[in-house]
Chain A
Amino acid sequence: MDFFMTSLPTILNATTLSAVPILLAALGELFSERAGLVNIGLEGIMAVGAFVAFAVGKMTGNLWLGVCAAIVAGIAINMIYAFCTVTLCVDQVVVGMAINILAPALALFGYNMFVGSNSANATGVIMERIQIPGLSAIPYIGGPVFGQQLLAYLAFILVPLVTYFFKSFRGGLSFRSVGENPQAAETLGINVIRIKFVACVACGALAGMGGAFLSVCMTPIYIDGIVMGRGFIALATVIFGRWSAVGIMAASLLFGFFDGLNVALQAQFNAAPVMFFKMIPYIFTIIALIFFGSRHAGPKANGQPYYRESR
């Protein structure tokens, strides 16, 4: 009991911190999969987003410019995916893997150019935390939950907006139609190709933003491998969250909780085998996928190339 009470603030803080980049990337993936595009290249897009946000934030001294640049970079990288999968109808998994190899290498190349022998460029700054008056004073949970950076609050505000978009907006319904049956959607006058490209823009932007969170909110540095599998976890949370924004948020928070628990256990049980604790979030991911991983629940045309002339 002592362990949980003393570690609770750290666990809760880690829960939100760990959840946000996954949530952002997973919301991007939601746009993509709702339009029938399984994008496993999130990991690579996040890496580029993390580097660009770090470098632009450092150069300009304005972290929000860094975030904006990461969004643009994420979109640019994902346009490669869009062109290959939508225009050329190349296998989505193959292109996603290629993005995962190409993008981190580009980011590392850019980092080496940016830092080089100038070690002053190796460390940046992180965004200020914003304490929500009143709520942040709640014992134990106040600070960790209501004392986050603005980008974290924005990520959570996106959840109802995305839900509303897919449920109540004509554009959202068009996305869903394209993901379920693009041929039928085309006959209704929906421009399937355009929807898929728009989905890739949204996916790239949100995954880039998720990467930016890692280098301007979580830590003040960029390092090769900074994403550490979060892009793949985001893919799993889309499935676990049953392709709904609220479900994705719950799955991201649950992953964040287990990640926070892992760190608290590592910190407090020095002599125990650390690797066992490190496995906790990933074991949870596998278990969640076993129980909730049926792809039958997802968009029916997910992962399939769309040939405009085919009926």
Chain B
Amino acid sequence: MLEPKESVADADAADAAQSYVDQDVDLIVGAGNEFASVWAEVVAEATESHPKVHFLITNTDPAVDLADYQTLDNLETVLTDLSQSGALAGVVAGLMTKTKSIGFIGGAKLPMTLTKYAAYLAAAQKVTPGVEGHYNFEAGFTDASLGARLTENWIAANDVDVMWGDASAVDNGSRQALESAGADTHFDIAQPIDIAGEGQATVVTSTVIDWKIDQAMDEIEKGEFGSGRTISADMSNGGISLGKFSDKVPADVQDKIGDYVKLISGGSFLTEAEIEAVRSTL
């Protein structure tokens, strides 16, 4: 049975986790590395008092985010390959843009956001030289109207015709602005779930993330979970993938994207140096 708690404020995150510990649940998942900074005490106490309770925190680098944890016995993290995710979006953007002008909105200026954007722009420029990128890394995650107005401005001033977002509700606003500008000429790449289809006129495809919760649950059943291990989510294990295409992506473009996907999966499409070359300008 899954029991979600949504919109938990940072101040309440530890109490929310503790309430699940008290119920002796098998697995508590923290969706985002903000949970890493507030769960240290809960995890330490639960390891003693409730050894069958396990913790999984997504988007978390143990070396950076869990440095002050006393124990990692019942904890694992999930790290997605952000370069792959960005490269997939970049290939689609580079092949779909007619104006050679693409945009990106991020919720917070985190290292992982910069990596995603750097890979996105580097990939777009690799498939279509001369592509220009426009970005905002601090749009937050709630103000959809900001997403709409930023995108509207980029469309008017910079002719942006493809967007990719990493800002939750803000991305909804961005899609609204793209639709107003013309859903046949302005496109969005969604993430992290596959939402291309009816009701999403501008979404041409999605970069999909599977947080590998099933892997964590399998490990718990086998008694192998814990020790602060990191579960990698990448293209090799289905952690990162491209969703279905809308009918606005021509067949020949879909074929080209398919070829690039193989290169990205094989690690031969973008080098770390190419990504770093973009990241160093941000």
A→B interface (CB under 8 Å): 6-7, 9-10, 13-14, 17-18, 108, 112, 120, 123, 126, 214, 218-221, 223-226, 228, 260, 263-264, 266-268, 270-271, 274-275, 278
Contacts and interface: CB of A to CB of B under 8 A. Distances in A.
B142 A14 contact: no
B250 interface: no
**Chain B, interface SS category:** helix
A267 B101 CA distance: 13
B169 interface: yes
A108 B176 contact: no
Contact of A270 (B134, B143, B152, B156): B134
Residue of B142, B149, B199, B282 contacting most chain A CB atoms (<10 Å): B149
A221 B153 contact: no
Contacts of B144: 218-221, 223, 226
Residue of A260, A267, A268 contacting most chain B CB atoms (<10 Å): A267
A225 B136 contact: no
Nearest to A266: B136
Residue of A112, A214, A218 contacting most chain B CB atoms (<10 Å): A218
Nearest to A225: B142
Interface of B: 6-7, 134-138, 142-146, 148-150, 152-154, 156-157, 169, 172-173, 176, 199, 282
**Chain A, interface SS category:** helix
A85 to B, nearest CB: 28
Contacts of B148: 218-219
Contacts of B146: 263
Contact of A228 (B135, B136, B143, B154): B143
Q: Closest 10 CB pairs between A and B?
A: A219-B144, A267-B153, A6-B157, A274-B138, A10-B153, A263-B149, A218-B145, A223-B169, A225-B142, A224-B7
A123 B172 contact: yes
Contacts of B173: 219
Contacts of A221: 144, 169, 172
A275 B132 CA distance: 24
Contact of B152 (A13, A219, A271, A274): A13
A171 B9 CA distance: 45
Given A219-B173, A226-B142, A263-B149, 6 more contacts: A6-B156, A218-B145, A224-B142, A228-B142, A260-B149, A267-B153
A228 B143 CA distance: 8
B173 to A, nearest CB: 5
A275 B138 contact: yes
A166 B173 CA distance: 38
B169 A264 contact: no
B280 to A, nearest CB: 12
Nearest to B153: A267
A10 B157 CA distance: 9
A129 to B, nearest CB: 9
A219 B157 contact: no
10 contacts: A6-B157, A123-B199, A218-B145, A219-B144, A263-B149, A267-B134, A267-B154, A271-B282, A274-B137, A278-B138
B153 A264 contact: yes
B55 to A, nearest CB: 24
Nearest to B281: A271
Contacts of B152: 10, 13
A7 B153 contact: yes
Residue of B142, B146, B157, B282 contacting most chain A CB atoms (<10 Å): B157
Contacts of B150: 263, 266-267
A18 B146 CA distance: 10
Nearest to B150: A267
A9 B149 CA distance: 11
A180 to B, nearest CB: 38
Nearest to A224: B7
Contact of A219 (B134, B135, B176): B176
A224 B136 CA distance: 22
Contacts of B172: 123, 219-221
A260 B149 CA distance: 8
B153 A108 contact: no
Nearest to A228: B143
Given A126-B176, A221-B144, A225-B142, A7 B157 contact: yes
A270 B136 CA distance: 6
B165 to A, nearest CB: 14
A220 B153 contact: no
A276 to B, nearest CB: 11
Nearest to A273: B138
A10 B145 contact: no
A118 to B, nearest CB: 13
Contacts of B176: 126, 219-220
A221 B147 CA distance: 12
A120 B134 CA distance: 30
